[in-house]
Amino acid sequence: MVRRGARGVAVVLVLIASVLPTASVQAGHDDAAAPLPLELLFDNTAVSDDGSPAEADFDGAGASLSVQDLTAAGWTPGRALTVQGATLTLPDRVAGEPDNVRADGQSVALGGRGDALAFLVASTSGADLTASGTVSYADGTLSPYVLTAPDWRRGPLATKAVALPHVNTPGGQLAEKARLYVVTVPVDATHGIPSVRLPVAPDLHVFALSVRAATTGWTGSWATATSGQPTVGPWTDRTLRLVVHTSVGGPRVRLRFDNTFAAAPVRIGGATVAVRDTGAAARTVPARLTFGGATGAEIPAGAQAYSDPLAFDVPAGADLLVSFHLPGPVTAAPVHRLAQQRSYLSGPGDHTADGTATAYTDVVTTWPLLTGVDVSGGPGSVVMVGDSITDGDTSTVDANRRWPDVLAERLRVQSAVPQYGVLNQGIAGNSVIADRYPGDGVSTDAAGVSALHRLDRDVHAQTSVRTAVVLEGINDLLAGRSAEQLTEGLEEIGDRAHARGLRVLVATLLPCGGEPRCTDALESERTAVNAWIRQNDVFDGVLDFDAAVRDPAQPTRMLPAYDSGDHLHPGDAGLAALAESVDLTLL
């Protein structure tokens, strides 16, 4: 293991800019003007009725969003949506009324305390638009922030909050994707935020703004990353009973469901949680979950739903059964494809309260919709972002032998460092740089969007994250990308995570000699990447996984005892060797 103390000049400058008070404020509006709620500052109309497209002019050229498309996505006026852990209230305006602010230095009244500002935004400049604003803290200090809003017609679908199928224009409706984005920027969580001054950038449109509450008092115990939105079922009046394995325990629980990448809402009719006995049978009577006091929840396209905190004793290192009823029909769903765990699907009916396995007649091998299990208390969590090696490809099904699982076991039985929660955000086939799934529509490829595109959702927005561990890049090299391209991507991950106040570790790439695609040319690139990783000053520490599993007699290959047989993925013994090699004090 290698410790790193320095983070690099660029990162230091970012952190200084985000936390040090400054006297400068935007000059677009009178500095002495009292902050106003965002809705009182609305000066642009973005949403039109399909029958009256001329009533809105979002971009200055007469184009607008369709209110019918927004309604179909579940994005209705005045609705509170949760995206990336932040709650944003949609403008409570009918089509044809002003519903957003063109950023021009306005001072917006806010309130609250948390770890990030969340903006519902889009650019109409034709490209990504980056501009700076100012945060006002309750102690009287000011701090700048930098916000990047992707374009509403050209921005990446991989990072959008919602994509709509049409653009309204005075000349007729276009079959073209319109996008809205939720963008978060870090703030000092120790002080309240009474107001925020918007950037001066009139092509940047702000629909909603809030402070994302810090997840104090909760620790992530289990999580998974959405890898695509494939066709399913169709499921109508069926109950899913998913098996998940906790890392840490606690006396209260809450669950997170994500409708990531979706174009339409999904309805959860009811949900329960129980400790697993065997198969689909519960050890005790399943405990009923609620959502804002209701038994179920409708999750709009691209949004999340958290269950209410529930007094429920979650054991550490145990299997839970999370059961939820889908009234349906559900024809496509956000899933994590490679669960390496058998879960269950019932016949018709709401079987969430069943303690027995009788109704659960079918097996599913993915994790649909469910993305997180949090427990109360605890010291926070460590997030592993990676590809199939972190996802546990080739590990024994139903045995929880992924390397993050073994690391969680190590943490549970020691007292030298806190017993952190361990969150596995690996996706088989994932790349650092390029999207395998474009991030919109029904997917045929379940390798997800790139690590750079999913970083904010799968790392920064995870519950109580304190440290990120990055083991990713071999798929980039297999796709023909260079060592230089890959290290630039890894450096961006480190810089962005540091800007969020996270500790970040990086792991060397494992040897893959013997796999037909791992040519001498690829080995040269892998060696260059690992040399950069071992000497870099971007990350806080290096996990030398290459050294942990390579064959000393043939360093381009894994030890046969660690090789799953495909020469690319470690088997159970190799995954355990990775976990055992981690210096826990680095976490």
Comparing CA positions, the residue from 391, 388, 416 lying closest to residue 402 is: 391
How many CB atoms are closer than 10 A to CB 520? 8
Q: Confirm if 177 and 198 have CB atoms less than 8 A apart.
A: no
| Cis preceding linkage at 329, omega within 30 | yes
What does DSSP assign to residue 168?
A: B
Q: In the prediction, which pLDDT does 215 show?
A: 86
Contacting residues for 374 by C-beta, under 8 A, at least 6 apart = 215, 218, 219, 220, 221, 253, 254, 255, 256, 463, 464
pTM: 0.94
At position 514, the amino acid (one-letter code) is: G
Strand partners, 505: 469, 541
Q: Which residue in the block uniquely carries the two structure tokens 């918007």? A: 198
Six-digit token string for 571: 């088997």
Please give the Cα distance from 489 to 51 (Å, whole number): 45
DSSP of 105-128, one letter per residue?
S-EEE-----SEEEEEEEE-SSS-
Q: In the prediction, which pLDDT does 399 show?
A: 98
Q: Confirm if 66 and 237 have CB atoms less than 8 A apart.
A: no
Strands in 107-109's sheet, in edge-to-edge order, are: 107-109, 195-197, 129-136, 142-149
At position 155, the amino acid (one-letter code) is: G
φ and ψ at 103, to 5 degrees? Answer: -65, 120
CA dihedral angle for residue 265, residue 271, residue 273, residue 279, rounded to 10 degrees: -90
Comparing CA positions, the residue from 440, 43, 23 lying closest to residue 204 is: 43
SS3 162: strand
Q: In the prediction, which pLDDT does 15 show?
A: 31
SS3 328: coil
Q: In the prediction, which pLDDT does 252 show?
A: 98
CATH domain 379-587 topology: Rossmann fold (3.40.50)
Q: Is 558 exposed, middle or buried (0-12, 13-18, 19+ CB in 10 A)?
A: buried
Please give the Cα distance from 321 to 352 (Å, whole number): 10
Six-digit token string for 326: 């889908």
Q: In the prediction, which pLDDT does 31 show?
A: 58
Q: Confirm if 164 and 77 have CB atoms less than 8 A apart.
A: no
The pLDDT tens digits along the chain (587 residues) read 443 433 333 332 233 233 333 333 334 455 568 999 999 999 999 999 999 999 999 999 999 999 999 999 999 999 999 999 999 999 999 999 999 999 999 999 999 999 999 999 999 999 999 999 999 999 999 999 999 999 999 999 999 999 999 999 999 999 999 999 999 999 999 999 999 999 999 999 999 999 999 888 999 999 999 999 999 999 999 999 999 999 999 999 999 999 999 999 999 999 999 999 999 999 989 999 999 999 999 999 999 999 999 999 999 999 999 999 999 999 999 999 999 999 999 999 999 999 999 999 999 999 999 999 999 999 999 999 999 999 999 999 999 999 999 999 999 999 999 999 999 999 999 999 999 999 999 999 999 999 999 999 999 999 999 999 999 999 999 999 999 999 999 999 999 999 999 999 999 999 999 999 999 999 999 999 999 999 999 999 999 999 999 999 999 999 999 999 999 999 999 999 999 999 999 99
Q: Which residue in the block uniquely carries the two structure tokens 């806010």? A: 110
Radius of gyration of the chain (CA): 24
